[in-house]
Amino acid sequence: MGQLLKYISKPGLPAVILLLVGAGLLWLPSFADHAFGTVLLTMLLTLLAAAIMQTFFHRSGLTRETDMLPLLLYVVSVSVFPALHTQWQSQVAVCALLIILTVLFRGFREKDTSEQAFLSTLLLLLASMLVPDMIWLFPFIWIAYIILSAFGFRTMLATLIALAVFAIYLGIGLFFEKIDNPFLGLLDRQFIFESGDPEEWIMQAVLMFMGCYFFIISVIRVDRDSVRQQAVLTLFALFFAATIAMVIYPMLPLKTLPLMLAMLTGLAVTFFRQNESVHRGIVFLLYLLLLAAGYLVPTLILNI
């Protein structure tokens, strides 16, 4: 039993396929309840975001090519919460944030990261057109480069140039009335439990609980991992702290939740891909059980 628990957080290909098929079935009610095209687009973007996360962990050397855990955890985590099945804008934002993390990580201990800083900042600002709360992540790009020992004057200047380019684009669009201002009401925020349904409260509470657990574990272990793994852990912990704040006091409820979920998944993968242990096997089972509870409690109990 101990050996089974020790290695259960490394599911084989048959188990991965079974879980992914099960996750896909959870989307079927959403196709019936909402616009087919919206749900399909969200589903495809979720798979794309999961693939980007899978690629990030593989290229960073933290998982093997055949290790599907990053893709599996993110797809299952989104699938069990029907309220996220129509949030295609959020999935675009998740894809953008994961690409930004990939670009940031490429600058690890590099002397000149101005090009990466410009591209990551511009992508962040463009994504904020869909999820306005993302604009609050702008200073976290500076913090990330400081953590990665790659921050300098040219890096800071590149981010400011990207900000100026975005401001010009936004100004021209607003002047000719080609776009609406997505940042109106950016400061009009509300506490997470002041809006929405009890089903959404349960969903968000489950995710925040799991995220805080992995965040604490990551902070405790950050000085005992390899330098490369430490950098990845710190990046995900940094952006998890930022996104959970946006979830607790959002401008648009649910829009920022997938962002936090992606960072939670990143923390979970780095946790499960450390040395195998019974503790990690138990946590992996509890992770899946909590996700199942997040789906079953609102779906079966509150709707009785």
**Which of 27-36, 158-167, 270-279 has the weakest average pLDDT?**
270-279
What distance in Å separates the CA atoms of residue 253 and residue 108, rounded to the nearest whole number?
34
Are the CB atoms for 290 and 77 separated by under 8 Å? no
Q: How many residues does the chain have?
A: 304
Residue 2: per-residue pLDDT: 47
Of all residues in the chain, what percent carry a pLDDT higher than 90? 35
Q: How far apart, in Å, are the Cα atoms of 190 and each of 22, 127, 137, 183, 246? A: 35, 22, 19, 15, 10
- The single-letter code of the amino acid at 25 is L
Higher-pLDDT residue of 169, 280: 169
Q: Give 214's pLDDT tier (boundaries 50, 70, 90).
A: confident
Q: Is the pLDDT of residue 274 over 80?
A: no
Over residues 51-78, mean pLDDT: 83
The helix (run of H) or strand (run of E) holding residue 77 is helix 69-79
What distance in Å separates the CA atoms of residue 55 and residue 74, rounded to the nearest whole number?
13
**Tokens 């990580």 correspond to what residue?**
105
- Structure confidence by residue, pLDDT tens digits, 237-253: 899 999 998 888 887 77
Compute φ and ψ for 212, nearest 5 degrees.
-65, -35
> Taking Cα atoms as reference points, which of 116, 125, 119 lies closest to residue 171?
125
Q: Give 289's pLDDT tier (boundaries 50, 70, 90).
A: confident
- The single-letter code of the amino acid at 1 is M
- Structure confidence by residue, pLDDT tens digits, 47-60: 999 999 998 888 87
Residue 158: per-residue pLDDT: 92
